[in-house]
Structures are given as C-alpha cells and as structure tokens.
Structure 1
Amino acid sequence: MRSLLKGVSGVRWGKLRDARESLASDIPPLLSRIAYGGEDTARLAIDELGERVCALGFVVAEATAPTVPFLLELAGAPNVPCKAELLELLEGIFRTDNWHSSAAAAGGPRRTGFKEQPGWEAASRAAVRAGRPIIEGLASSVRPEEAEAAHKLLRAMDEVPAFPEI
C-alpha cells in the first residue's frame, strides 16, 4: 500500500512563507492530520490550513502552490475524510486573483510592491488545473457533497480564464 504524503518531505517548507507571513513549516503536520486523523481532526486541520495557504479565502502565498498537489492527493485518496472541504479549499485557491487585480490596478507589478505575488497565484491556479483528473473522478462520487464540490470546481476551471500578463 502506498503511503500518503510521501513527497511532503521533499519540499523546503522552512524556506517558504505562508499567507500569515510565517514560515510554512507547520503545513506538513496539518496535511498529516488531514490524512491520518479522524473527521473532526481533519476538518480543523483543513480550516487552519486554509488560513495558511488561502487566507480570508482570497490571499494565496508562496507556500500555496507547493501545497496544492498534496491537497489533491488527499482528495483523491480512498479513506481521507472531508473531501468536500478539500475541494472547496482548492476552489478558493483556484479562484483567487487578489494579487493580480491589485498589481494591475496599480499599473503592474514593477510599479508596486507586488513582484512575486501574482506569480504565486498563477502557479497555484496551474497546480489546481493539473489535478483535473482527480477532480473529475470525485465528480462521480456516491457522496453528494463530494460530487457537488467537484462539479463546482470543474465549472470554475472551465469558466475562469488564465491570468493576463501584467
């Protein structure tokens, strides 16, 4: 049996910043709590992780894109609870355009302090798009909440355009 989150140790979490501007070294334990905790533990970990990788539901950070493949892995794993919540977090990450909008309104990233942030959004959105096969599989789940959340994310993927160059 393949273990979950096998590649998590390959990410240099201590060098990345999360949406709280903290080092992202707390992200792997949160992912483990989702993978191996019960439903209540997983739900709390997803909430906390959401604030770390998509604060307020619309602010991504440097650590967001590296976290997305693990969120997708957990969503696609057979015995992980709270898949609908994972899909909702992925949709929030996918829809985020706060940094792009702010940089564009200010005349572009070179004219503002937003130099890396639009790239974080683009990388995060691309990482979610890369998980489309997993999301499509969840769209046929027998659990209505999972199927609905997967369909909603797939619609977003079909409707939300690529980021424009700024």
Structure 2
Amino acid sequence: MQWTRLQAARGSSARTVPALLSTVAWADRETARQAVDELGDLVCELGFVVQEAAAPTVPFLIELAGAPHVTCKADVLDLLRKIYTGRQWSAASKAFSSGHRTRLARQVAWEEAARNAVLAGQHVYEGLTASVDPDVARAATDLLRAIADAQQSAGAEKGDAS
C-alpha cells in the first residue's frame, strides 16, 4: 500500500497510518487510545468526514478489533462505527446541483468503499458482542446496530423510490 498517495484529513497524506496502526496493536492502553484518536482524525475527520485513506485502513482496524492482545478494542470499534456512518460527502452531494455532485463523486466513492470494508468485518463484531469487557461488548453492539439501522434506512429509501 502506498500510504503517501492516499488523501487523509485536510489534504494531508496518510503516510503516518501504518505507524499509528502499529501503535494501536502493541502500545499500552493510553498510548494505543491516543493512536486510535489520531487515526480517526486522519481517516474520518471530525468523526463523520470519511477520507480516501479510510477504506484501506479498515481491514487493519478489523484485524485489531479481533486481536486478543489489543488493549483499546472499544475505541477501534467506535472508529469503525464512525467510518461506517460517515455520510458527509453523500449528504453534500444530494444537497447540491448536478454539477457539484459530479465534483463530489470521488469523495462519495470513498464513503461507499469504506462502508463496504467495514461490512466485511461483521463476523468479528458479532463475536465481540459476547466480550467479557463490557465496553467492547457495547461498542460491538453499537456498531452492529448502526449497520442494521443504515441497511434498514437504505431498504426504506429503495421502497420509497419504487
């Protein structure tokens, strides 16, 4: 993966993503939590603006969520939920004229790719709902609920369009 070529928040590159993922994987709890916060700032700015680097980051976040040694799983799951529910570009695209929609097509595609990447880890989240750590179980349940709610809303929109 050429992280330097991927766009992160505020037009920066995603070059620091691998180091942050490593920190999440192997650091003490507080340092790992700070790394998750920094990752969130890069790939899902403000907690709802999905960036190009989000989708390539998600498989690593899923792996971290399922890894037994990771100390901040609830934070990782919360970040995955934010990435999944991030719809800023889609909402802006719908609000603008067709000319502006075309300009936002790339960013809307980032959101869709990121959502699809998050969906690929559903089996991991389902397993984590039974975690002995109540924060992890809650975060996994919240993520699955966000997925179900979004899918239900998408189904309702398709029904309205028919």
| TM > 0.5 fold call | yes
Q: CA deviation at 1:107?
A: 2.8
Pair 1:62-2:52 in alignment: yes
1:1-166 to 2 correspondences below 5 Å: 11-108=1-98, 111=101, 113-161=103-151, 162=154
Unpaired stretches in structure 2, ≥5 consecutive residues: none
Give the corresponding residue for 1:4.
none
Please say if residues 103 and 109 of structure 1, whose CA atoms lie closer than 8 Å, have aligned partners that are also in contact: no
> Secondary structure in 2 aligned to 1:47?
helix
User: Deviations 1:78-116 (Å, cap 9, x if unpaired)?
Assistant: 010110111111001111110001001103466453120
Percent of matched pairs sharing the same residue: 49
User: Deviations 1:51-70 (Å, cap 9, x if unpaired)?
Assistant: 00111011011110000000
Unpaired stretches in structure 1, ≥5 consecutive residues: 1-10
RMSD: 1.8
Please say if residues 94 and 101 of structure 2, whose CA atoms lie closer than 8 Å, have aligned partners that are also in contact: no
User: Deviations 1:106-149 (Å, cap 9, x if unpaired)?
Assistant: 03466453120000000101111110011011111011010011
TM-score, with structure 2 as normaliser: 0.90
Whole-angstrom distance in 2 between the partners of 1:109 and 1:61: 21
Q: CA deviation at 1:20?
A: 2.5
Whole-angstrom distance in 1 between the partners of 2:39 and 2:86: 16
User: Which protein is richer in helix relative to its size?
Assistant: 2
Whole-angstrom distance in 1 between the partners of 2:106 and 2:99: 8
Residues paired across the two proteins, number: 155
